[in-house]
């Protein structure tokens, strides 16, 4: 593995290996010294052309726990506003000696461009590109699901998840599938790990060609809830910043038809975990009762994000120098 651009690049064994490494990384959070010396003397650049709280902080925490030096770059307040091109920014970073670049960009395919352009010859980690992919989010979701399915604590150190996949589980992804890079990455990774994926949302927010995806599609939330006993329900945020046209008549109708309302929440089977990639629009796609319930693993997802990103940085930066650079 040279870059982490898309979950479609991961085989089942790659994915299970990454999750297993993340299990060991999760142990570090409980130790006296919450640091490993693995990336000492290496520089990880967080290149964020789009706003983000948790992903940027999570990547920063992950790199720092591995003892790397972290340079944070956000497009706001940089020479990008003077018109600097992506190529020039990357070549500047290469000249400064970056060892890995974590990139988030509104343009789908930007990380792929960076990985193949030759502007910089270091591992590229996709931290979300447009409406394309967000592979580390999918990895942390699968990490959390693996824990929940095994009856283990959703985050923190635990025994028993190593080596397992998600075969036999059913996961619903609900909401704005069209604009969601989280959904795209999750559909591929969950399939690779053997889970059955059910997509639920308004027809206007389903991507073109969704019937080709390895997932079952429902336009009616209640039909889907009647047809399946879900191990987890993943509520997606309605991305108002990406909506330049009306995809549904009004927010109240969206909440009534596709939101996790108190009625739907109370009707869920007792073992169903409630997931959300954040930030949540409370009262819109998810009710406060569900968001604050003990079955919501939203904060565990955040905690696991650090462990998963540590695993990804470890895998991309370590051990492969001799083969990787050829």
Instruction: Name the binding residues.
Output: 54-55, 82, 104, 134, 137, 181, 237, 278-279
Give the span between the Cα atoms of 237 and 182, in whole angstroms. Answer: 10
We find the least distance from the C-beta atom of residue 188 to other proteins, in angstroms, to be 23
Asked if the bond preceding 279 is cis, omega within 30° of 0, the reply is yes
Of the residues 121, 212, 241, 321, which one makes contact with other proteins according to CB under 8 A = 321
Near other proteins in 156-185, by CB under 8 A: 162
Residues contacting residue 159 through CB under 8 Å, at least 6 positions apart: 152
Q: Which helix (H) or strand (E) holds 144?
A: helix 135-149
Candidate ranges 36-44, 141-149, 196-204, 225-233; the one touching other proteins (CB under 8 A): 36-44
- SS3 at position 313: helix
Q: Give buried/exposed letters for 95-131 (b at 16+ CB in 10 A, else e).
A: eeebbbbbbbbeeeebbbbbbeeebbebbbbbbbbbb
We find the least distance from the C-beta atom of residue 160 to other proteins, in angstroms, to be 11
Candidate ranges 70-78, 174-182, 224-232, 317-325; the one touching other proteins (CB under 8 A): 317-325
CB nearer to other proteins: pick between 38 and 243:
38
We find the least distance from the C-beta atom of residue 163 to other proteins, in angstroms, to be 11
We find the least distance from the C-beta atom of residue 17 to other proteins, in angstroms, to be 7
Of the residues 31, 252, 256, 271, which one makes contact with other proteins according to CB under 8 A = 31
The pairing of beta strand 100-105 with beta strand 124-129: parallel
- Establish if 319 lies at the interface with other proteins (CB under 8 A): yes
Of the residues 21, 106, 158, 210, which one makes contact with other proteins according to CB under 8 A = 21
Of the residues 11, 35, 84, 87, which one makes contact with other proteins according to CB under 8 A = 35
Detail the residues annotated as belonging to a binding site for carbamoyl phosphate.
54-55, 104, 134, 137, 278-279
Give the span between the Cα atoms of 45 and 250, in whole angstroms. Answer: 40
Closest CA to 56 of 103, 116, 4: 103
CB nearer to other proteins: pick between 90 and 193:
193
Candidate ranges 29-37, 129-137, 210-218, 270-278; the one touching other proteins (CB under 8 A): 29-37
Closest CA to 260 of 298, 213, 304: 298
* Ordered DSSP codes for 75-90: STTSGGGGT--HHHHH
Of the residues 12, 38, 48, 191, which one makes contact with other proteins according to CB under 8 A = 38
Copy the structure tokens of residue 297. 């693993």
Of the residues 2, 12, 14, 20, which one makes contact with other proteins according to CB under 8 A = 20
- Establish if 17 lies at the interface with other proteins (CB under 8 A): yes
Backbone angles phi, psi at 223, to 5 degrees: -60, -45
- Establish if 322 lies at the interface with other proteins (CB under 8 A): yes
CB nearer to other proteins: pick between 20 and 216:
20
Detail the residues annotated as belonging to a binding site for L-aspartate.
82, 181, 237
Residues contacting residue 175 through CB under 8 Å, at least 6 positions apart: 200, 201, 205, 235, 236, 237, 238, 258, 285
Give the span between the Cα atoms of 158 and 57, in whole angstroms. Answer: 24
CB nearer to other proteins: pick between 240 and 318:
318
User: Which residues bind to other proteins, rule: CB under 8 A?
Assistant: 17, 20-21, 24, 27, 31-33, 35-38, 162, 315, 318-322
């Amino acid at each position: 593995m040279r870059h982490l651009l898309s979950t479609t690049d991961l085989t089942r064994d790659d994915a299970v290996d990454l999750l297993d490494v993340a299990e060991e990384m999760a142990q570090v959070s409980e130790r006296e010294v919450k640091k490993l010396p693995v990336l000492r003397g290496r520089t990880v650049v967080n290149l964020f052309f789009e706003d983000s709280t948790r992903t940027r902080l999570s990547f920063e925490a992950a790199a720092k726990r591995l003892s790397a030096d972290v340079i944070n770059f956000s497009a706001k307040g940089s020479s990008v506003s003077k018109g600097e091109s992506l190529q020039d920014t990357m070549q500047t970073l290469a000249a400064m000696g970056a060892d890995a670049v974590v990139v988030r960009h509104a343009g789908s395919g930007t990380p792929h461009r960076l990985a193949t352009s030759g502007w910089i010859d270091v591992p590229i980690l996709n931290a979300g590109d447009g409406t394309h992919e967000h592979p580390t989010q999918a990895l942390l979701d699968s990490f959390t699901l693996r824990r929940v399915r095994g009856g283990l604590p959703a985050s923190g150190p635990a025994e028993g998840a190593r080596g397992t996949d998600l075969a036999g589980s059913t996961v619903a992804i609900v909401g704005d599938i069209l604009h969601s890079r989280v959904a795209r990455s999750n559909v591929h990774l969950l399939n690779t790990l053997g889970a059955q994926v059910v997509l639920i949302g308004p027809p206007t927010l389903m991507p073109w060609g969704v019937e080709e995806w390895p997932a079952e599609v429902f336009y009616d939330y209640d039909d889907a809830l009647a047809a399946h006993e879900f191990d987890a329900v993943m509520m997606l945020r309605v991305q108002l910043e990406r909506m330049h046209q009306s995809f549904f008549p009004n927010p109240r109708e969206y909440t009534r038809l596709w939101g996790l309302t108190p009625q739907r929440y109370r009707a869920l089977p007792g073992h169903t975990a409630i997931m959300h990639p954040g930030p949540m629009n409370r009262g819109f796609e998810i009710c406060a009762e569900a968001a604050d319930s003990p079955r919501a693993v939203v904060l565990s997802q955040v905690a696991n994000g650090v462990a998963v990103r540590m695993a990804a940085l470890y895998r991309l930066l370590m051990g492969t120098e001799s083969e990787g650079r050829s």
